[in-house]
Structure 1
Amino acid sequence: MTLPKSLNEGDTVGIIAPASPPNINNLEKALPFLESLGLKVKLAPYVKEVQGYLAGSDQQRLLDLHQMFEDESVDAIFCAGGGYGTGRLASMIDYEFIKKYPKIFWGYSDITYLHTAIRQRTGLVTFHGPMLASDIGKEDFHSISAQSFNQLFEPTTLDYNETISPLEVISEGEATGEIVGGNLSLLVSTLGTPFEIDTKDKLLFVEDIDEAPYRIDSFLSQLKHAGKIAEAKGVIIGDFNNCIPKNDRPSWSLEDVFQDYFSSLSMPVIKGFKIGHCQPHFSIPLGTRATLSSTHKTLTVEPGVKKETKHED
């Protein structure tokens, strides 16, 4: 895996909108937070474009992505929001270009498709974390979410335990491997494509929002039949915000679904991680090695950036 270089005070963050149009008011409210970290902000040319449910045409969004990776004045790329549309770009991205200009890439939700495609085509470690318009610009942005950005400035081993949120063991064990995954519905949408999620010997992380239990069941069924669950070494269950029955018809609970798919596995499976469409939103690098332990109820994640020392002339 390729670790992007860490940030320093005075570095510039490029903002792109590769999926749906972001809430511009929330986006503008979020910018002072980045400035409070000592960062400068550079908006991509088409970040405020609107084309139906997309933030501009495929060509405009692709151009913003490529330009921000190429721009030597930009040290990290943050996504303004999610929604829909990153899967449309995956086959058009110049991955050799990203290999040439590796840098921090940050987002979640629909950005899951880009995380998966970029990691599997380039080896670049990317970050699953809160976005500007979707999270940072809202009043409920949590201090733990804010603190997660510190890992970008200094190589940091992350330790998630029950001081952050209650955790429930569904299947016991301990395993170490690269973290992969993200939004469950987006992971399923990669199946059968050139960007199909690779879970072999990996720790599979999943989260989602606003899906009824039968829909989560359907997604997990697809992953199971595709061999993606059996190939993994462990499962990290993040936040499943508002994933409850949507009508008065009989339904399993979300807990029932998780028990059915995961309780008989011979690998660690733990739920309750505040990672996803939630506050706080604990940010993690994707592609780095991590250890999931049911005995200690912990997730320990290796650093997602590298510190480059400046050489004196």
Structure 2
Amino acid sequence: MSSSTRRAPADESDPSPPAPPRPAALRPGDVIGLCSPSMPHAARFPRRRARAVGALEAAGYRVREGRNWLKDTGHTAGTPEERAQDLHELFADGEVRAIMTSIGGYNANQLLELLDYELIRRHPKLLIGYSDATALLLAIWTRARVGVVMGPQLLPQWGESGGCLSYTEAMLERTVADSRPLGDIPFPEEQVLEFLAWDRDDERPRRQERAAPVRVLREGAAEGFLIGANLDTLLRLAGTDFWPELGGAMLLMETAGGDIGEVEAQLTHLRHLGVFDQIVALGLGRFTDPAMDRLPELAAVVDRAARGFRGPILSGLPLGHTDPMMCVPFGARATLYAGERQRLTVLDPAVREEGFMP
């Protein structure tokens, strides 16, 4: 297989989107807004919530809580209108420099038709989250072309006993507080798999163990712009106006699922949607079941589902439902190498140095 670098077209037909507006780099004392676009766990786990907020403050930030983020209406934190209101108010708030979601769930897609994308476009700031929150990231990226980041959430990562894991915190800091290109992304050798029930057993740091190494499923090299997603959440947007333009994209995605048959079905769905005709590279995140990362048949399954795709494919990347985790700034140009070495290099910053863009 050729190892020549695949690139998005560079002529007038180039489908790559323009670089998103970059908010100013976060500085100590800046305000991070908090919202709950899906599950009501911020209300249900007060000790975890307090510890997470304290960790963000210890890192030098102030927090501003959305007015509805502690509501509990069953499987969601308030009505769709209330959750959308929080996002609108936090985006419009001139003191808020970034917005972080509390946790994922299943129903962030209820907000997509309620969001004022013109308001969001006028007040560009980084929205940070993963899992179900990637529905918001994808929609805001698609409709408002505002920079967003697939990265750590308040409760799962910042609420960790002993503090946010050092790799996760360092990668977020590098993404939101450094206006230089992110450069080479290190792949941590450790992974946290232990579960400790929140507000009951989570009074000590969870045990870390050696992770499966990043694995080459298809050799090659590519350059494109980054898009991150939870696979389940991405597929819920198929056929809607919120589906992202993927021409020239380097798609980094993950799933919390642990069934190889379901993964193959989902990847086949992506092929049916024409995704593999558009993207230049594919990166799969670590699975929540580490046995999946080591399955001998994983390569065959991905190869079969992505048949016809010629770009490089890596698995075992530290993103999404895994700890520690990297960040994926949407729209940033990156290169990916898969062969004797595995390397992801982000060529752009996610933020800029100058004053905050109004």
Q: TM-score over 0.5 for the alignment?
A: yes
2:240 is matched with which residue? 193
Which segments of 5 or more consecutive residues in structure 1 lack a partner in the other structure? 246-250
SS at match of 1:106: strand
2:315 is matched with which residue? 271
2:172 is matched with which residue? 149
Cα deviation, residue 163, structure 1: 5.9
CA gap 1:111/1:158 in 2 versus in 1, 3 angstroms: farther
2:140 is matched with which residue? 118
Cα deviation, residue 224, structure 1: 0.5
2:263 is matched with which residue? 216
CA gap 1:206/1:308 in 2 versus in 1, 3 angstroms: same
Report the Cα distance in structure 1 between the residues aligned to 2:22 and 2:99, rounded to whole angstroms.
14
Question: What's the TM-score once normalised by structure 2's chain length?
Answer: 0.80
SS at match of 2:99: strand
Which segments of 5 or more consecutive residues in structure 2 lack a partner in the other structure? 1-19, 190-210
The equivalences for 1:229-248 within 5 A come to 229-242=276-289
Report the Cα distance in structure 2 between the residues aligned to 1:32 and 1:188, rounded to whole angstroms.
35
2:185 is matched with which residue? 160
- Contact 1:198–1:228 (CA under 8 A) maintained in structure 2: no
User: 1:139-176: CA deviations, max 9, x gaps?
Assistant: 38421011122121112414124565722111121111
What is the CA RMSD across the aligned residues, in angstroms?
Answer: 2.1
CA gap 1:254/1:170 in 2 versus in 1, 3 angstroms: closer
Cα deviation, residue 212, structure 1: 1.5
The equivalences for 1:1-313 within 5 A come to 1-22=20-41, 23-139=45-161, 141-151=164-174, 152-156=176-180, 157-162=182-187, 164=189, 166-242=213-289, 254-262=298-306, 265-295=309-339, 296-301=341-346, 302-308=348-354
Report the Cα distance in structure 1 between the residues aligned to 2:321 and 2:95, rounded to whole angstroms.
31
Cα deviation, residue 64, structure 1: 0.4
Cα deviation, residue 304, structure 1: 0.8
Report the Cα distance in structure 1 between the residues aligned to 2:301 and 2:90, rounded to whole angstroms.
41
SS at match of 2:96: coil
User: 1:79-133: CA deviations, max 9, x gaps?
Assistant: 1111121101101100000011111211000011111100111111111111111
- Aligned AA for 2:344? L
1:248 is matched with which residue? none
Report the Cα distance in structure 2 between the residues aligned to 1:108 and 1:29, rounded to whole angstroms.
20
- Aligned AA for 1:130? P
Report the Cα distance in structure 2 between the residues aligned to 1:133 and 1:24, rounded to whole angstroms.
10
Report the Cα distance in structure 2 between the residues aligned to 1:252 and 1:291, rounded to whole angstroms.
26
Cα deviation, residue 242, structure 1: 2.4
SS at match of 1:241: coil
- Aligned AA for 2:252? F
Cα deviation, residue 211, structure 1: 3.9
SS at match of 1:75: strand
Q: Percent identity?
A: 29
CA gap 1:198/1:309 in 2 versus in 1, 3 angstroms: closer
User: 1:171-221: CA deviations, max 9, x gaps?
Assistant: 121111111131001111110011113221110111011342121112111
Question: What's the TM-score once normalised by structure 1's chain length?
Answer: 0.91
Report the Cα distance in structure 2 between the residues aligned to 1:273 and 1:266, rounded to whole angstroms.
20
Deviates more, 1:223-232 or 1:139-148: 139-148
- Aligned AA for 2:69? V
Dislocated runs of 4+, deviation >4 Å:
161-165, 251-256
Cα deviation, residue 24, structure 1: 3.4
Report the Cα distance in structure 1 between the residues aligned to 2:108 and 2:76, rounded to whole angstroms.
9
Paired residues, number: 305
Report the Cα distance in structure 2 between the residues aligned to 1:93 and 1:221, rounded to whole angstroms.
31
- Contact 2:56–2:158 (CA under 8 A) maintained in structure 1: no
Report the Cα distance in structure 1 between the residues aligned to 2:147 and 2:136, rounded to whole angstroms.
12
